[in-house]
Amino acid sequence: MASQVRLRLLPSARCLFDEPVQVKVTGLRSRQVVTMKARSTSDKGVVFSSSATYRADGRGEVDLERDPSLSGTYIGVEPMGLLWSMKANIQHKSFVKNKVINPHVVKFSVHEVEGDGRMLAEETNERLLIGDGVSRVPVKEGNFEGVLFTPPGEGPFPAVLDLCTFMPEKRACLLANRGFVVLDMPLYKDKPVNIKEMHLDCFKEAVDFLQQQPKVVNKGVGVISRSKAGDIALSLAAFVPGIEAVVWINGCCAIVATPLFYKKSKILSPLLFDLRRAIPTESGASIVKYCMNDPLAEENRATLVPIEKAKAHFLFVASEDDLNWDSKAYMDEMVERLKRHGKENFESVCYPGAGHYLEPPYGPYCPSSLHGILGKPVMWGGEPRSHAAAEVHLWKKIQEFFRSHLSCEATKAKL
């Protein structure tokens, strides 16, 4: 019977990382109950897996776009549930996929529920991070370094600076697949504990570099950021000319932890935190949401980034269940401040049930992992289903926002 069972991934078993696939099984017995599984290994060698129980229809078919999972790592109709519900076999691990040249490989399989769970069929999904013709060039110029991703064709294309805490390239190359010239740049070139001050000048150099690229449509640059990178993105918009659009995801409205300098002068003092306010959990990961000092307290006013001076358009994104810090409150503060100054150059999106770690869609949901700056495991927050839905919605929103404010006809067909 197993030889008649077929598992198919439509429209193709090979696709881009941020594209959905339709998972279908045929050749089962009428109303047969089976277990669907997915399995993948991160760049760090950590195994992630998921499973869900399905009942075939009268024709012996299962279609994940139509049929509900009855039990497993998710329940209900979730066409991509096997991907986002994958869990690590080791606690407090995020899915690391930084080698963008190699695809994210996921093994899908269907198994009997009875007995030893014999496998009936399998298929391999190759989820490409870097699309055909996209170039990847490491860059080290002046005081900055990063990786430049450029779409195929003559362009012109809009330019985006992707600020990340360290150096994951996934989001940057996925944006390049969609028709953006993207410079991926880390905040830290050393261990964060060794960084005593940060200089906006090196990020300005990166903006200048992007503006000089021959395929760039105009001289205005977009910036995308999450977490600590958010306050640097805000600062670029406030102090550096040429920034036209900023995506701020679950960041802070103040400069966090380290003073910021520009043109050899300190422009913003740091908002400090107290880890004694961390809340331990039974899992061993801590909730650090309440560790930050209050940016609105009188003694911390000098830490607030003066975004009211910026000419750029802002997309503020906050997750209501962010357990890293109170990003929703920080977003609300910035929105109110801009309104008080008569500004209308912003829009905001809030995601109930989503956690801090918003990524491009269809990767495994990450409830907790090692905090890159604190050096200890923390809870990121979020309910898996709501978080996954937020990632799908946000990814499209980001592209629409950049296309709207970094106008370029050449990219409008890439959505």
Q: What positions carry a catalytic annotation?
A: 227, 322, 356
β-bridge pairing 243-249 and 313-319: parallel
- What is the C-alpha to C-alpha distance for residues 355 and 323, in angstroms, rounded to an integer? 7
- Closest of 93, 101, 108, 96 to residue 21, by C-alpha: 108
Say which residue the tokens 């003694």 belong to: 299
Q: With the C-alpha atoms ordered 384, 349, 393, 312, is the resulting torsion angle positive or negative?
A: negative
- What is the C-alpha to C-alpha distance for residues 261 and 327, in angstroms, rounded to an integer? 24
Three-state SS for 268-321 is ECCECECHHHCEECCCCCEECCCCECCCCCHHHHHHECCHHHCCCEEEEEEECC
- Give the tokens for residue 327: 């990003």
SS3 26: strand
Q: Quickly count: other Cβ atoms within 10 Å of residue 171's Cβ.
A: 21
Alpha helices in 59-189 (DSSP H): 81-84, 170-177
CA angle 145, 147, 148 (to 5 degrees): 120
Q: Which amino acid is at 371?
A: H
The string over 14-32, giving b where at least 16 C-beta atoms fall within 10 Å of a residue's C-beta and e elsewhere, is ebbbbeebebbbbbbeeeb
Note whether 168 and 42 are within 8 A (CB): no
Note whether 7 and 23 are within 8 A (CB): yes
What's the burial of 342, exposed, middle or buried (CB within 10 Å: 0-12/13-18/19+)? exposed
SS3 184: strand
Residue 304's beta-bridge partner residues?
254
- What is the C-alpha to C-alpha distance for residues 93 and 367, in angstroms, rounded to an integer? 9
